[in-house]
């Protein structure tokens, strides 16, 4: 399981690995109607070089700390 700390509504999007299975992601998307969650999923999938369909948000839908699982 991957732990992601989120900074929504940032000036630019970025992904930073801060530990084993831990990431800090900044996104320009607003935290409304799931926009930020979709953007975070796409950024993380791109960073990990996997299809975003293989990445699932397991916990933290409305939290700044989210947990993703990779479906292999």
Where in the sequence is the domain holding 37, given as residue range(s)?
Answer: 2-70
Q: What is the pLDDT of residues 16-31, one digit of tens each?
A: 999 999 999 999 999 9
The per-residue pLDDT for 2 is 96
**What is the Cα gyration radius of the chain?**
11
Exposure pattern of 60-71 as b/e (b: 16+ CB <10 Å)? Answer: beeeeebebeee
Nearest to 52 by CA among 60, 40, 42: 42
Q: Is the pTM of this model over 0.85?
A: yes
Residues of the chain with pLDDT under 50: none
Q: Report the CATH number that the domain containing residue 19 is assigned in CATH.
A: 3.30.1200.10
Q: How many domains does the chain have?
A: 1
C-alpha distances in angstroms, 62 versus 4, 39, 72? 13, 14, 25
């Amino acid at each position: 399981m991957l732990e992601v700390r989120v900074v929504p509504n940032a000036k630019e999007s970025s992904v930073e690995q801060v530990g084993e299975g831990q990431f800090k992601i900044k996104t320009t998307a607003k935290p409304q109607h799931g926009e930020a969650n979709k953007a975070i999923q796409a950024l993380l999938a791109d960073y990990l070089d996997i299809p975003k369909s293989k990445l699932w948000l397991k916990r933290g839908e409305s939290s700044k700390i989210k947990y993703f699982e990779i479906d292999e």
